[in-house]
Amino acid sequence: MKSHMPQVRLQKFLSEAGVAARRKAEVLITEGRVTVNNRVTKTLGTKVDPARDAVRVDGRVVVPHEKVYLVLNKPKGYITSVDDPQGRKTVMELLRGVAVKVAPVGRLDYYTEGVLLFTNDGDLAAGLLAPRSNVEKIYHAKFRGQVSQTDVEKLRRGVRLDNGRKTRPAKVDIIKRTDKHTWLVITLTEGQSRQIHRMAEALGHVILKLARVSFAGLPYFGLRVGEYRHLTSSEVAHLRSLAGLAPSR
């Protein structure tokens, strides 16, 4: 009987099934943790027929499924994690009604709100997070007190963080000033842990509120805090282009 689906490379199959990104899938194969029809397969490039071959990772059956792409308007008070040993609320609790297992792309801090992407497309997630992709992340940050134009220029050029690493040049502009606060719009092309808070601290400032208003060109327009939606095909194509991937078939 003829196969209903074309054969694909094993690491590609694992990635598209949401097991792991392509590189990690290759490691799983070479470590002997993957079987095809009950036989351990350590050869990269091995081809499988998703419709007929039984693929397992660490003994668990891998089931191919449709790729899912979501954008969430994350509220503060949730950690960006699939689960939490400490029992804190995670962003996964906000994805009610999503039957397919997905994972967040990158992180937003516990108190940070805004755009957070989810997918089971491991290659896309890895591509968007790779430093070479230069994916833009736009934030609105509320600073305590006055931020001088001199400090804005320093943020634009890059500042030295507490680990000694200097940040990449960033786009920074003042949105609004009051007697007590300064609002800045900050565009980054990197994603170090708590980066904007640490950039502010390097200049002696404190951030009171932080929201990511765009990730890779995706805004949260039309989404209330805590709501999510599926991406359109054109949005997915845009993300795949940014990640250096071919269009979806």
Band of residue 182 on the pLDDT scale cut at 50, 70, 90 = very high
- The answer on pLDDT for 3 being more than 50 is no
Mean pLDDT of the chain: 92
- The answer on pLDDT for 45 being more than 90 is no
Topology alike, domains 8-61 and 69-132+222-242 = no
173 Cβ contact partners less than 8 Å away, ≥ 6 residues apart: 152, 184, 185
188-234 tens-digit pLDDT: 999 889 999 999 999 999 999 999 999 999 999 999 999 999 999 99
User: How is the chain split into domains, by residue range?
Assistant: 8-61, 69-132+222-242, 136-215
Share above pLDDT 70 across residues of the chain, in percent, rounded to a whole number? 97
The domain made up of 8-61 has a fold known as 3.10.290
222 Cβ contact partners less than 8 Å away, ≥ 6 residues apart: 229
| 120, 110 Cβ separation under 8 angstroms | no
Q: Provide the 10 A C-beta neighbour count for residue 214.
A: 18
Share above pLDDT 90 across residues of the chain, in percent, rounded to a whole number? 74
115-157 tens-digit pLDDT: 999 998 888 999 999 989 999 999 999 999 999 999 999 999 9
How much is the pTM?
0.79
Q: What is the pLDDT of residue 214?
A: 98
- The answer on pLDDT for 53 being more than 50 is yes
Q: Which residues are catalytic?
A: 109
Q: What is the pLDDT of residue 20?
A: 82
71-88 tens-digit pLDDT: 999 999 999 998 888 989
Q: Which residue has the higher pLDDT, 50 or 34?
A: 34
Write the class of the CATH domain 136-215: alpha beta
Q: At how many degrees (to 10) do helices 122-129 and 22-30 cross?
A: 120
**DSSP characters for the chain?**
---SS--EEHHHHHHHTTSS-HHHHHHHHHTT-EEETTEE---TT-EE-TTT--EEETTEEP------EEEEEEPTT-BSSS--TT---BGGGG-TT--S--EESS---TT-EEEEEEES-HHHHHHHHSGGG---EEEEEEEES---HHHHHHHHH--B-TTSPBPPP-EEEEEEE-SSEEEEEEEES---TTHHHHHHHHTT--EEEEEEEEETTEE-TT--TT-EEEPPHHHHHHHHHHTT-PPP-
Q: What is the pLDDT of residue 5?
A: 54
Q: Shortest CA distance to 79 belongs to which of 109, 117, 103, 116?
A: 109
Q: Which residue has the higher pLDDT, 50 or 172?
A: 172
CA distance 68 to 125: 12
- The answer on pLDDT for 2 being more than 80 is no
Q: Shortest CA distance to 57 belongs to which of 37, 27, 33, 22?
A: 33
CATH 3.30.70.580 is held by the domain 69-132+222-242? yes
Q: What is the pLDDT of residue 1?
A: 37
Q: Shortest CA distance to 185 belongs to which of 211, 160, 223?
A: 211
